[in-house]
Amino acid sequence: MLPPLSLVNITREIKPSISDNEIESIANFKSCKYVCTKESSENSSDPVIVHSCSRWIFTGSPPGLNMEDPIIAVFNWFSTTNGLSLNQLQIFIGIVAVSLLGIAHFRASNGGAILSIIGWPMVGIFFYLDVPHYVEIADPVLIIMCSAGLPITIILAIIEWKFHLNEVEDEAIIWARGMMALGVGPYLLIANIPYLNVAAVWLTAWSANVFLGFSGIDGYTLGAVIVDTGVSDVLWNEWSGNRWMLTDDLGDAGFYIPLIRETDGVTEVGFVMACSAMQSMAVFIGALAAIRTAPITRRIRAAFVTIPTIFVLNTFRNAGIVWLHASYPHWELLGVTMFDFAHSYAAKFVSLGAMFLMALVLFDLLPQMHAHILRLMSPITKITSNKNFNHEPKNRDTYE
């Protein structure tokens, strides 16, 4: 693979600069009106794009909902009090949580397990802080998943506490710690190192464009890498932020690459980090790497089966969303556009189904993973079996 800097240079060669038409296209695409002030005109040849809403694959910022969630409000107050943004606090919580669970996984027999009691709720908070964003972009699947993460991780922390009191080392719970640490950790690393972030975005956009051309749907080209600073859009090479560690608060799009129609220069969609399926890959990588009782050769074989498959399916997914959006731009049902339907509903349903099928394949290759999942689900199955038992017809003598 080419180094990240080369990936950016290739993109710049395709679109060496943002023309006035492209700026207008991006502005219209984001449903924004750009404002050219005297100061911006003197310092830059490009107008300043003021964001009001976005249409991105997997992310965006349409006219926001002011969500007054008490948990979000507490952490928002805490971050403001300490001079941090909520996003910076979330990243800090994620790093600490991953570190605690990682230590608890690798030092499970040396007293490190107690750290997971703190780490699990922090993981739940990390995901819960994303809920307002998914409410804004009306993504029901991710709203449910992120909301459910907090109570689930609290339950795991309670289970961990009971195991600690009884000095029990449960292999399934140890696997769950490692899966979270080894999955979320690399994802946070890639997402917060701009060079790696841009490389993932470029590869995603390039593969989708190649697949569109292979399918006979050509006429698109990749625009330059653009940084959404939250106030205006700037070219990657003109961005003054740290490229080795993300310290700036960016807009919802972050680092993105527009897909542009060659005929009229109109931007069709924008590809961002979340389009890369890194989340799905991270889940499977973490799950495979954390199995201590399986041979390393079987785990590597399972990785070669799942990771390339996820990449190909994600490329097909992104290309499909672009094709549907371009082919049916005026389609709407109950206020849901074709883009929203394809992205938030159809693609999510197909993606979850594909992950379920891949999990079945992994269960055959690694039965240990299947055993761990069944073990973690045993409290739920016990509750269900007890309910069924309590609803059985009682003996006649019981009623006398």
215-229 tens-digit pLDDT: 877 778 888 888 888
Q: How confident is the model at residue 55 (pLDDT cuts 50, 70, 90)?
A: very low
DSSP E strand stretches across the chain: 34-35, 48-49, 220-222, 226-228, 233-235, 255-261, 267-271, 332-333, 336-337
Is the CB of residue 321 less than 8 Å from the CB of residue 343? yes
User: Average of pLDDT values for 62-86?
Assistant: 76
DSSP designation for 396 = G
User: What pLDDT does 319 receive?
Assistant: 86
User: What pLDDT does 212 receive?
Assistant: 85
Return the HEC string of 315-327. HHHHHHHHHHHHH
User: Average of pLDDT values for 87-94?
Assistant: 88
Question: Taking the domains of the chain in order of start, what are their residue ranges?
Answer: 4-381
Q: How confident is the model at residue 120 (pLDDT cuts 50, 70, 90)?
A: very high
Q: How confident is the model at residue 383 (pLDDT cuts 50, 70, 90)?
A: low
Q: How confident is the model at residue 33 (pLDDT cuts 50, 70, 90)?
A: very low
Which CA distances in Å does 230 have to 8, 205, 255? 21, 22, 11
Is the CB of residue 229 less than 8 Å from the CB of residue 44? no
353-365 tens-digit pLDDT: 888 888 888 888 8
Is the CB of residue 372 less than 8 Å from the CB of residue 379? no
The percentage of the chain sitting over the pLDDT mark of 70, rounded to a whole number, equals: 78
**299-303, long-range: CB < 8 A, 24+ apart:** 299/366, 301/365, 302/362, 302/365, 302/366
CA-based nearest residue to 368, from 203, 207, 175, 180: 175
Mean pLDDT, the chain, rounded, equals 76
- Residue 155 is encoded by which pair of tokens? 């339950």
37-49 tens-digit pLDDT: 333 334 444 433 3
Q: Which residue has the higher pLDDT, 318 or 333?
A: 318
> Residue written as tokens 């701009």?
194
User: Average of pLDDT values for 255-281?
Assistant: 81
pLDDT over 60 (residue 78) = yes
User: Average of pLDDT values for 21-30?
Assistant: 44
DSSP designation for 294 = S
Angle subtended by helix axes 171-192 and 140-165, to nearest 10 = 130
Phi, psi angles (nearest 5°) of residue 140: -65, -35
pLDDT over 60 (residue 251) = yes
User: What pLDDT does 38 receive?
Assistant: 34
Q: Which residue has the higher pLDDT, 391 or 167?
A: 167
pLDDT over 70 (residue 66) = no
What's this model's pTM, rounded to 2 decimal places? 0.70
Q: Which residues contact 89 (CB under 8 A, 6 or more apart)?
A: 75, 78, 79, 82, 129
Parallel/antiparallel/unpaired status of strands 267-271 and 226-228: unpaired
